[in-house]
Amino acid sequence: MGDTLTPPTLGPDLLGELTGRRVLILGDGTAAHAAHLVRAYGASVDAVGSEPGAHHGALPGLRLVRADVVEFLRTAAADPYDVICSLDTDPRPLLPALASALKPGGTLCLTVPAAQKPWTDLLAEHGLRLHVEHLDDGHASHRVLRAIRPLRVSSRPRTPRPPVPHAALGVGAILHGPRGLLLGRHHRGTWELPGGTVEAGESLQETVVRELAEETGLRADPADVRLLGTLLDDVDGVVRVTVASHVTAWRGEPADQPGEKVGDWRWFPLDRLPENLFVCSAQGLTAWRPELPVDHTPAHFTPYATD
């Protein structure tokens, strides 16, 4: 398969920018394609696996390499190529080594039998993305594949459907200062920390700042919110996730806000906390200060950081 592609086919239309790029060609029997890329586009080309009789004079930029292909590709991973062309009929065993020898953003060109399908998933397994494929103009029994090694790795959802709801995610904000700990009374009678449910597009710190303003009128900056960790419990089979946070600075005075379910905001000394704390608030408080004499149902606490 050394001459499957004619030299004009191996050019910028298929391989992208070539001027000044480092190119590796495998299986170029006479090194004609390699020499063409050097002369026509100013590429620096290494040709591995060329026939012993291949000769193009002292052509600057062309290097004929006599080496085992797999071993050469392993060493090439330390100084990867911008472009790699494999003109062998079955490059599948070489894919792991080919991907390692290619720079992020680089182009891989493969000549493969037309019957070998599909290649999209096979390339993706090695961090490569199929860009284009077409029949080789000279041999309809073969296809030319162009793949790239992306600069960044992609991600995608498993399905277009949203996930099945099974968890509730909220935040609790601990504000403690010279006057004590800030707690408000819910209309159902429990005392609790400012906080609430995370909304789409928010960071956890932004949720704390928003809920604090909506419930108490106090203003804070996300930079002044320290996330303490995650508390996990369950209510009737629904996983409840609460992120406890400590707000280190704020502005204003707490006051009841229209339409909110929590009000009557007060500052409590830590040694005289009110009865009937909301369980999530109680869990957050003992995560912050384990020595507090607060009883609550168990929760799994995973701290984020410690001072």
ω before 96 within 30° of 0 (cis)? no
With respect to residue 157, please indicate whether it lies within any of the assigned structural domains. Answer: no
Do 94 and 85 meet the contact criterion of CB atoms below 8 Å apart? no
**Largest Cα–Cα distance in the chain?**
93
- What whole-number distance in Å separates Cα of residue 206 and Cα of residue 288? 20
Say if residue 200 is in the same domain as residue 133.
Answer: no
How many angstroms separate the CA atoms of 141 and 143, rounded?
Answer: 7
Mean pLDDT of 100-121: 86
Residue that wins the pLDDT comparison between 88 and 220: 220
Segment 92-113 mean pLDDT? 91
The answer to whether residues 54 and 133 belong to one domain is yes
The answer to the question of residue 72 being in a domain is yes
Pick 142 or 278 by higher pLDDT.
Answer: 278
Q: What angle do CA 166, 171, 177 make, to 5 degrees?
A: 160
pLDDT on residue 138: 52
Are 292 and 196 in the same domain? yes
Query: What average pLDDT does the segment 248-274 reach?
Result: 96
CATH of the domain at 100: 3.40.50.150
Question: How many structural domains comprise the chain?
Answer: 2
The answer to whether residues 141 and 204 belong to one domain is no
Range of the domain at 87: 18-149
Are 141 and 256 in the same domain?
Answer: no
The answer to the question of residue 7 being in a domain is: no
Q: In the prediction, which pLDDT does 89 show?
A: 62
Mean pLDDT (the chain) is 88
Residues 140 and 113 in one domain: yes
Least confident of 44-58, 131-145, 287-301: 131-145
Which of 95-99, 139-143, 260-264 is least confident? 139-143
Q: Is residue 74 domain-resident?
A: yes
Residue 3 lies in a domain: no
